[in-house]
Every structure is written in C-alpha cells, then in structure tokens.
Chains A and B, each alone.
Chain A
Amino acid sequence: MSRPIRILIAKPGLDGHDRGAKVVALALREAGFEVIYTGLHQTADQIVEAALEEDVDAIGVSVLSGAHLTVARKISEKLRMARAEDKVVLFGGNIPAPDIPALKAVGVHEVFPTGSRFEAIEAFIRSAVASSRGGGQHA
C-alpha cells in the first residue's frame, strides 16, 4: 500500500481570506489525505521550507487578492532553488481564467478557481502525485 498523500495548504502574503483554504483542507482530509495547513501571512520561503520539512507531495496555494502571479513566480523559484520541483503545485482562489496559462507557464501544475469541485481537486492530486512519485509503489 502506498503511503497517504501529504499536502500542504498554504496562504501566502497579506491576503487573509482563508475560507477556501480551510474548506479544501477539510475536504482533502476527509478524502484520506494528510493535510498540513500553514495559517495566514506566509512568505514564499516559509511555504517552501514547510513543504520540505513536512515532506509533502503537493502544495495547494490559495490567493484571493489578485496577487497570484507574483506569488506563483516566487514559490516556483524557491522550489527550483531547493531542488524540489517534484512537488505538485496547485493554485486556488479568485483567479480569472485568462491568468491560468500564465500560472502554468511559471510551473503551477493546475489551477482550481473558486467553485471547483472537491472530487476534481482530489482526482488531479492523486494522478499528479502518482506520476511525480514515478508510479513507484512504497511498501
């Protein structure tokens, strides 16, 4: 049996609207994931450090202020510097559709804007983590 998927739910920057982050965290926990929530006002450095320390498979970043591109660039860069590009990075929140390609171009694997269904988020993480683990089975 493979170990449960571990995910860090992160709230970067100054935006304090955490309803979406907490709701997704609770939904993923119910789906059997191990969920770590950072709390508010995290820097990109703190988020990447927490991801490494907690050895998570995925990072779910929630932004509602509109600053998602700035945040995504910083987190991707920190992950590259930490040689942790294998972590699956997801963005959620108030993200206009035209910004999604730009987010993917800087290394975000998938974007789940407000209103996304839990099962879609869950299914994507399972499949993306499976391929980033190389499909390898852990004992």
Chain B
Amino acid sequence: MPDDPRPVILESGIPVRPSYGPEAIADLDPARDLGQPGEFPFTRGIHPLMYRARPWTMRQYAGFGTPGETNERFKFLIGHGQNALNVAFDLPTQMGLDSDDPRSEGEVGRVGMAVNTLADLETAFAEIPIEKISVSLTMNAVAAPIMAMFFVVAEKHGLALSDLRGTCQNDMLKEYIGRGAWIFPVEPAMRLIGDTIEYCARNAPKYYPVSVCGYHIRESGANPVQEIAYAFCIARAYVRLGLERGLQVDEFADRISFNFDIFGNLFEQVAKFRAARRLWARILRDEFGAKLPATMQMKMIAGGGGGGLTIEQPENNIVRGAYYALISALSGAQTMALCSFDEAYTIPTEKAALVSLRTMQILAEEMGLCDTADPLAGSYYVEWLTNEMEKRIASEIRRVDEELGGIVRAIREGAIQRAVAQQAWRHEKGLQDGSIPKVGVNRYRMEEEPQEVELHAYNPRQAEESVRRLEERRAARDPQAVGRALEAVRGSAASGANVMPSMMEAARAYASLGEITRVLREVFGEFQEPVSL
C-alpha cells in the first residue's frame, strides 16, 4: 500500500485507512450481524420494506408565542405536507412556571409556546386531527402534567386513550447532561418517568411515553460514540423502571423511542445508527430477555443537526441540512426533522421552516432514497465502521457501568457532564485552530459578511396576552375543584401512588402548570447541580 498522505481520525477517535476490502469485514457474519431489513438484529432497519412502504415521517419542531399563533404555524406546516407535529414550549412552561411568575419575565412565548392551563393546549390543537397527525411534546421536567393535559385534549377530541398515538420527550436524565431544563432531584424525576411509563403501558399502549435523547447530549459536545452510549445507558435505566413496576419487558419497552443527531462525517453517522440498532436489539434480547422482535427494534427520530450549522454564511446551512437529511435517510430513521438555516440566529421563520420541509420532500420524492432498504449495506467501509462503532459504544457503556457506578450516579455526581464539556472544549479548540475544517468559519471565511437573516420578532405583548388568558381562566374555573385536585396531586406525589390519574384530574379542573409544579417542588425539592468543570 502506498504511503498515507493524510492520516484521518474520525470524531469518535477511529482511525480510517485509505481503502477497505473484504479482509476488513472477514469476521462479519451477515446472518448473525446484519439479517434482512426487518429482522434481528435490525442493523438494516426495523421494517422489511422500509421507505418503500412509507417514507419517513416529517416532523419539524415548531411553536412560539401564544397557543393561537402556534396553532396557525401547525396548520401552515400540515397544509404543506408535514404529517406530524413536534411542539416547542417556552422556557417558563418547560420549567413549570406560569406566565405571570416573576421568573418568567422576558421568556414568555420566546422559544416556544406558553402553556398555563388545559385551555392553552385546547387552543393549540383546535381543528388539528390528532388522530392522524401524531404529536410529539418536547417536554421533560413537567412531562407528567403536560402529558396529562394532552390526554385530556385527546379525550375532548373524542379519542380513546387506547388509540392515541404520539410521543412525549420525557427524558430527564439527559436534561442534567445537556439542555438543562431540570427542576427536581434525580430520584423523584426518575419516579415520575416510571409513573408515565406504567400509566401508558396500562392505558395508552400506542403512546410513546419516553423519547431518549442522544441528540442533546451530542449537541452539548459529546462525540457520536458518547451520544449513543450515554443514551443507551439512560434508556436501560428507564427499562429497569418499567420492570420495577411489575411490567414485562415485552409489554412496554417497544414504546421507548430515541432521538439522535445527524451532523458530522456522513459515514461515521450512518455507521453509528446501524451499529446502534444492532446493539440495542442485542441489549434487549440478552440483558432484558425480550422475546418479541418489536421490543428489540430501535425506533428513532434522526434529525436536527444544529451543532453542525454555522452563524457564518447562514445560507450554507441549507446545503448542510440537505446532507444531514441524506444521512438520516441512509440510516433508516423513522422520523426526520431538520434544523432550519436561520436557527443559529433565531426561531425559524416560516420561510426557513418550509425550506427544511421541502429538503426532506425532495430527498423522499426525487432522489431514490425510498426505493431500497439500507442501500449502503455490504460496503466494506460502512460495514467495517459499523462494527468499529458498535465495539466502541459497547465499551463506553461498560465504562459507565463499571467505573462510574452506573448512569444515574454518574449524572448525579456530574461525571458525564464533565466528560461532555471536556469534549466540547476540545472540539471548539479544533475549530479555532483549524484542525477541524468548517467552511465559512476556518475555511473560505468572508470578512464583514452582511447579516441577511430575517429575525423572528419577539412580541412582548404575547406575554400580556398569556397572562390575561391565565387570569380569565382562574376567574372562570371552580376554585374548590382546583384545590381538591391539587391536594390529590400532593397526595399521590408524597405517597408513591402513580401521579397520572391525579394529574389528569388537575388538568380537567384547569389547574395551572405553575400550581401543579409548585406542589411537586414542595414534595420533591430541587436538584442541586454539580458545577465542577
């Protein structure tokens, strides 16, 4: 072999040779390690026909301002062919604060829609056919009360809970690593997730109560191996929660889905997803004794890619988004969403959101991505890299289990947060010294670029509108029913009974999210962040 002119090491630390041949995958047993699409270990995808039967679901993240404005954006996206919704909530809502709380000042309706009571969700989903359009709620710390409100909305749309589809993010462990919308300490936060898993398994079996997010771990700085390894450690912790409630693994584990990131080296990402599917299937079968194939299938939204977008030359992000979408399609994602080209600046404008949606539609309809499942299978390089990624992910999972005392302890003590921050810092140094190439940033930079991005205007009047709606609702509701419902929430939170029935009563009584969360804070206390760097 000729001398290597340029050593290549992937973000996950894997050295790459100039070419690969049959010898690179001599130990690959296709029947054992690949199977057919739709067969164990699902390396090649979870359905036999994959996109031939149905292209991936397109689910742009949207929501801002008042529930009325959000409802309009939902209808706009659905009108242009989007077939699912991903709801963004503002920070006060994510933190369980009402719009009139002093801590909400300046944030109401800013990065998502403000929800105070059931009435707001009723408005947001007015005339949205949630029996057909599956709704994903990007909500974590107060997932239980928001899920309860959504379930009541579904009831009011005439849907039986047993038929309701949809997803709630509800992945608290990753919030302590990245994204940071935490309220309660780790143990009660886990208990709330256990309550929702158990409640859904028994009452809403088609609903996904948890979507485990490697996405935000990667966006916080993790490399692709860490992204999958930590997400799987977290997902295993949630599976154990279900088992502790007396559920059989085959009764609920197929309702835990995943949310992963798509920026970076194309082949490394595709191998990451193929390796992840194989490893998850083996974990479910070997560690948890799953019997049903559906339980072993790793279902994912693979999307976003925000960490790869640049503030410099923002229109380049349209091109990056198209490549990221290609990665997602080559990886067999069930659902896709793309960060819009202006997201480094602002909440996506209608135009930018539409460009993202069209990007996915072009890929699905013009480029042949839906014709045949797992088209990169059998590539010497891709199969070798898939093996390599699986080994490294499995080894990082073992390190968390054996050296860090398991994921819950590692997060409580800040070990994962430190590892991710260190990785983020190394990456940023690489960008600044040019050793990690980034077009427009450390290659082909243009000085004094005009900023031509249209900014999504924040309207402070929407905060007043939100407070006014809350006050009206408080005046109209039955205060005794609210008081009784909140005491029932307190009772279930303190006793260890499943909180969901009391949460649904509180939603029906139009108790506000802030009122419900205040009760939970009193019972559970607050998380003390380990701040060492």
Contacts and interface: CB of A to CB of B under 8 A. Distances in A.
Given A16-B175, A23-B424, A118-B432, A96 B180 contact: no
Contacts of B221: 19, 23
Given A23-B424, A40-B180, A14 B91 contact: yes
A43 B345 CA distance: 24
A131 interface: no
A16 B106 contact: no
Interface residues of B, number: 41
Give the one of A14, A94, A98 with max B CB within 10 A: A14
A115 to B, nearest CB: 5
Nearest to A97: B451
A36 to B, nearest CB: 9
Given A19-B221, A22-B421, A114 B311 contact: yes
Interface in B329-386: 344-346
A16 B345 contact: no
Contacts of B422: 26
A25 B418 CA distance: 12
B110 A19 contact: no
A66 B343 CA distance: 12
Nearest to B453: A96
A29 interface: yes
Interface string B54-92: 000000000000000000000000000000000000011
Contact of A16 (B110, B180, B421, B531): B180
A29 B106 CA distance: 31
Given A16-B180, A65-B111, A96-B346, A39 B529 contact: yes
A106 interface: no
Contacts of A94: 344-345
B310 A13 contact: no
Contact of A19 (B220, B346, B529): B220
Contacts of B424: 19, 22-23
Contact of B421 (A11, A26, A40): A26
A71 B175 CA distance: 23
A84 to B, nearest CB: 22
Contacts of A35: 533
A7 to B, nearest CB: 13
A25 B107 contact: no
A97 B450 CA distance: 10
Nearest to A99: B455
B533 A25 contact: yes
B441 A14 contact: no
A118 B432 CA distance: 8
B95 A14 contact: yes
Given A19-B424, A23-B421, A66 B432 contact: no
Given A19-B424, A40-B529, 8 more contacts: A11-B180, A16-B180, A16-B182, A22-B533, A23-B221, A23-B428, A26-B425, A96-B346
Interface of A: 11, 13-19, 22-23, 25-27, 29, 35, 37-41, 43, 65-67, 69-71, 94, 96-98, 113-115, 117-118
8 contacts: A23-B221, A27-B429, A29-B533, A35-B533, A39-B529, A40-B182, A41-B95, A114-B311
